[in-house]
Amino acid sequence: MSDTRLFAVMFNSNGQIIYCNGHFVHMTGLSLDEVLGRSWNDVFLSAWAGNLPDPFADWFKNKPAAWHHEGDLVTREGEIYRVRWNSIPWRDTSGTVVGVASIGVDIAERRRLEQTLPDSAKQGDFENFGEEVDFSGINGHH
């Protein structure tokens, strides 16, 4: 995970950051010393967007809805990345969640592009798909 161009962060059961990759450090403008051992909310101004629940408590309650979510990552310079996070739990031998690994991708550009698409493209409008295609000559049928 250290060489990927995705955000990679790992948390212990206290919600402290115990690992983050070089891409995460570079993009946020923070040093490892400023991040490691601290809680996410102590380091970042606005971790989660809108009215989404804070996933940290739900991670350790083993609620699957918390494993995939979007949130705003605000950097030291005030730049905002819209990140789609996918998280996986670390479990002990009894199945208790004792840590979390999260991989995130900046989706801000994707969201901006989606806003320029017509509504039919946003909704995946395939209702009339195939109406303009002539299948009459396939397999000798006319």
Q: Is the pLDDT of residue 30 over 60?
A: yes
- Cα separation, 26 vs 96, in Å, equals 33
Query: Are the CB atoms for 88 and 68 separated by under 8 Å?
Result: no
What CATH number is given to the structural domain containing 20?
3.30.450.20
Summarised one tens digit per residue, pLDDT across range 35-46 is: 999 987 777 644
Q: Is the pLDDT of residue 47 over 50?
A: no
Query: Is residue 142 domain-resident?
Result: no
Q: Which residues contact 120 (CB under 8 A, 6 or more apart)?
A: none
Average pLDDT over residues 106-110: 79
Give the domain range for residue 53. 7-125
Query: Is residue 140 domain-resident?
Result: no
Summarised one tens digit per residue, pLDDT across range 60-106 is: 676 777 778 888 888 888 888 889 989 888 889 998 888 889 999 98
What is the residue type of 20? C
Which of 72, 14, 57, 60 has the alpha carbon at shortest distance from 38?
14
Question: How many structural domains is the chain composed of?
Answer: 1
